[in-house]
């Protein structure tokens, strides 16, 4: 597999499910830690930017393909609101890479009406923090590496 394709796969996976990027980059591809940290953070933030700035257009486009309106008070929506009330913007941003996934966290924060500049600021902090932590764990903690390799 070419180097560019490896970098691109780490970048894309980080935008979909955050922890897969460092696992793939560090463990499977044996990439340098700083490269994986940057690719992981940028992958997550690409998703966040897409949903923050184009979320309304995406929602309108997807609504054309739905046959009926969705329920507002679903179990999943109630869980999102519970997380939002308990942790607020900063908490949701910090939980996004680990629990909610980048698309899930970005959608949640934007639907609940946060300031876009604050969303971007706290998501960058979260992305850089968690990509560094997960990459270092994958590189230096042998038990973590074995857990992911299974």
Residue range 59-109, pLDDT digits in tens? 788 777 777 766 777 887 788 788 888 988 998 999 899 888 899 888 888
Long-range contacts of 24-29 (CB under 8 A, 24+ apart): 25/135, 26/135, 26/138, 26/139, 27/138, 27/145, 27/148, 27/149
Reference 104, options 15, 23, 42, 37; nearest CA is 15
Kind and range of the H or E element at 149?
helix 142-149
- Give the Cα-Cα-Cα angle 104, 53, 25 (nearest 5 degrees): 55
pLDDT in tens, 11-68: 999 999 999 999 899 988 989 999 999 999 999 999 999 999 998 888 788 777 777 7
């Amino acid at each position: 597999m070419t180097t560019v394709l490896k970098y691109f796969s780490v970048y894309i996976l980080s935008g979909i499910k955050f922890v897969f990027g460092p696992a793939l980059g560090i463990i499977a591809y044996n990439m340098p830690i700083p490269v994986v940290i940057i690719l992981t953070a940028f992958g997550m933030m690409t998703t966040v930017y897409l949903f923050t700035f184009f979320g309304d257009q995406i929602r309108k486009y997807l609504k054309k393909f739905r046959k009926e309106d969705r329920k507002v008070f679903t179990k999943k929506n109630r869980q999102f609101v519970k997380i939002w009330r308990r942790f607020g913007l900063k908490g949701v941003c910090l939980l996004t890479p680990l629990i909610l996934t980048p698309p899930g966290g970005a959608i949640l924060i934007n639907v609940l009406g946060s300031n876009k500049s604050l969303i971007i600021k706290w998501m960058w902090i979260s992305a850089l923090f968690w990509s560094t932590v997960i990459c270092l764990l994958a590189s230096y903690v042998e038990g973590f590496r074995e857990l992911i390799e299974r």
